[in-house]
Homo-oligomer: A and B are copies of this chain.
């Protein structure tokens, strides 16, 4: 297994993400007290130790005695590589690859819930939903699909990205592109499974 340059524990990553999130939300880094509260810690000394660890491992810099004196070193660490699990067909179903086919540097704003994964879209059936071939969709498998939402589904070993509509005993999967017919499945059909809900799209240029 490849060993990362400086490993970070899951909890430390949580702290780091809280810092980044706070900066994004409030325009400035958090104080120790604010971090403690958002991490459900009863005092600041625990935060202090996490910050010491993060600084020792090179993820942040601290500015002593300055309030909110935390800066994140994110040359490329902010773009954390995330495996792309496979290709998903926006038009006709495609196969999912068992192993990851590529890595993408996902910007930190493209916040991924722990359980989410990435799929590369192939085909143009979603172009009216502003998703295009080559785009990378962020999929959360723990969200329950709702009518009108974009979902990733597996139908007989093939994966599709389509809009979800449920009525009575049937599920319909619509493409935004009128060139593609809706797929209608009985809810009891065993070869069908909703994989997750699309929560974001990311596209690279070049």
Q: Give the B-binding residues of A (Cβ under 8 A).
A: 20, 23-29, 31, 67-68, 71, 74-75, 78, 107-111, 113-116, 118, 130, 132, 136, 138, 149-150, 198-206
The interface residues of chain B lying within 8 Å CB-to-CB of A24 are 109-111
Query: Please, how many angstroms separate the alpha-carbon atoms of A110 and B24 in the complex?
Result: 5
> Residue of B at shortest CB range from A29?
B28
The interface residues of chain B lying within 8 Å CB-to-CB of A203 are 130, 200-202
> Residue of B at shortest CB range from A71?
B27
The interface residues of chain B lying within 8 Å CB-to-CB of A110 are 23-28, 202
Rounded to whole Å, the gap between the CB of A69 and the closest CB of chain B is 9
Query: Please, how many angstroms separate the alpha-carbon atoms of A29 and B23 in the complex?
Result: 12
The interface residues of chain B lying within 8 Å CB-to-CB of A107 are 116, 118, 138, 200, 202
A136 and B109 contacting across the interface, CB-CB below 8 Å: yes
> Residue of B at shortest CB range from A31?
B67
Rounded to whole Å, the gap between the CB of A120 and the closest CB of chain B is 10
A111 and B113 contacting across the interface, CB-CB below 8 Å: no
Pairs of residues from A and B, 10 with the lowest C-beta to C-beta distance, nearest first? A28-B28, A27-B110, A67-B67, A24-B111, A23-B111, A201-B203, A74-B113, A110-B202, A78-B113, A202-B202
B202 and A75 contacting across the interface, CB-CB below 8 Å: no
A-B contact pairs, 14 of them (CB 8 A): A23-B111, A24-B110, A24-B111, A26-B110, A27-B110, A28-B68, A67-B67, A75-B115, A78-B113, A108-B111, A130-B132, A150-B205, A199-B204, A201-B203
